Structure 1
């Protein structure tokens, strides 16, 4: 199988070309993303395809992380995937190359699982994928994990969650026999929000969604019929608002100060 994977939903640009099979060593690139992704993505794609010796029309699928994540990054990945798919049609690939949209949080969870496997650690029973959504919120999704990998159907689908509400969200989404201690918390939220759920049990693991993770997920998703035509490949935003009013920013600032004051009071005697 010949696959091209694109991940631009965070501040890191990740692109990979490979077969997605277990043990496959893909050609890959990692670099600055965000605003730079739109300028560097196509040259990186061309370079990796050249290294693999593959023509665009020879690809079996174009895989991209559809979101949630950075609005600009998601639109960039979607537009490039659609453009390349249609471009292959012009190069003699009838109907164009199929496009496979994959949830960003599924790719994040897969990357965390893969890191643990490389380290020789047992897979967790459940992975909570946590991606910084800024504005004092996280994108979250919950996935079951077994010895053979992740179940791509989430126990809890992607949504927005306030850091302070993470424990309640986990209790609602975990299977009845499991507790938060059975869940691996994986993502990039810990420096910004970790203090707000420091009382939660369960391991923490820093991870980001990667194009290599998309490649590993792609064969099973393609076999399940998840590929679409280029015009049907759309971003998954989850949040439909990217800016706060002055009043909303002030309210969040006050709430953060109240939480900080409560945290300090909890560890400092009143008569100290």
Structure 2
């Protein structure tokens, strides 16, 4: 059940958490262009569970905000690292419920955001900051390890990434991306931006994909920029509904599965 729509009129006080990858990113701010934004980025993965809460406390202190003054806690729900996603959900729920002790009846609202949407927004922002043309479509790709990529496709309208994806997050072998993206819905080739952290690892397999390339990671500051519109759409939920988005249902592969994957990748490279 969604919470009531939250008006994004200033002053909007938000906390954003991103631990979907081996980087940890935390930010506080109002989500407006040129508005207040304090952020931290550092090692994630297993370190997130130890460092996340102290970092949240430090940033709130620097902003001069109490937990109870927040409009919502925003977090990247996945896909991504299983440990990182569980950490983000647990900390988000703990903070939301913890606000009850400071007088917030029922706790704070939470805003789950797809990690690949945050990645697409970060890529759009980086391209804009570099003076690049505004893309019509962003293909967001995140390294899923084990020879696979998380991928989703988003439209850009009026310099904003549309939250509803053209193609929903899925798991894909790099060699299969060309077939998955042909044709890329909603745009011509020059207006497509391929974005993510996959180019160094899977560059050879991605050479045939159409579009410009932008190295990017999901960040907490991207979550802040997305949050006002998402809150206005009524996408905040109660703390108990802060759940991860798992695209990969199985993290372990059998020896036979790994060998089939290796042979498929070898055949694709040879072709």
Over the aligned positions, Cα root-mean-square deviation in angstroms equals: 1.2
2:199 is matched with 190
Aligned-partner SS, 2:123 = helix
TM value normalised by structure 1: 0.92
**What CA distance in whole angstroms lies between the structure 2 residues aligned with 1:72 and 1:108?**
19
Contact 1:140 1:161 in 2 (8 A): yes
Residue deviations 1:151-210 (CA, integer Å, cap 9, x gap):
1111111111111111221125513xx344431100001111121121222111100000
Say whether the 8 Å CA contact 1:85–1:96 is kept in structure 2: yes
Q: Find out whether 1:253 has 2:262 as its counterpart.
A: yes
Match of 1:101 in 2: 112
Give structure 1 regions of 4+ aligned residues with deviation exceeding 4 angstroms. Answer: none
* Structure 2 residue 128 is matched with structure 1 residue 117: yes
- More deviation in 248-257 or 58-67? 248-257
Match of 1:158 in 2: 169
Q: Which structure exhibits the higher relative contact order, with contacts defined as CA atoms closer than 8 Å and separated by 6 or more residues?
A: 2
Local SS of the residue matching 1:200: coil
Query: Deviations along 1:22-76, whole A, 9 cap, x unmatched?
Result: 1124110000000100000000000000000000011000000000000000000
Q: What residue number does 2:154 align with? A: 143
Question: Which sits farther off after the overlay, 88-97 or 218-227?
Answer: 88-97
TM-score, L = length of structure 2: 0.93
- How far, CA to CA, are the matches of 1:88 and 1:141 in structure 2? 34
How many angstroms apart in 2 are the aligned matches of 1:8 and 1:242?
18
> Does residue 1:221 correspond to 2:230, yes or no?
yes
Q: Tell whether the 8 Å contact from 1:19 to 1:215 is kept in structure 2 after alignment.
A: yes
Q: CA deviation at 1:255?
A: 2.5
Which residue is equivalent to 1:49? 60
Aligned-partner Cα distance in 2 for 1:180–1:120: 19
Instruction: Report 1:54-73 matches (<5 A).
Output: 54-73=65-84
**SS of equivalent to 1:14:** strand
Rounded to whole Å, the distance in 2 between the matches of 1:179 and 1:121 is 16
Q: Indicate if the aligned counterparts of 1:186 and 1:205 stay in contact, CA closer than 8 A.
A: yes
What is the aligned length? 260
Distance in 2, matches of 1:90 and 1:258, equals 59
Distance 2:177 2:85 in 1: 25
Residue matched to 1:268: none
Alpha-carbon offset, residue 136 of structure 1: 1.3
**Larger Rg computed on CA atoms:** 1
Stretches of structure 2 lacking an aligned partner (at least 5 in a row): 1-11
For the 8 Å contact 2:75–2:113, the answer to whether it is kept is yes
Alignment match of 1:203 (pick from 208, 212, 218): 212
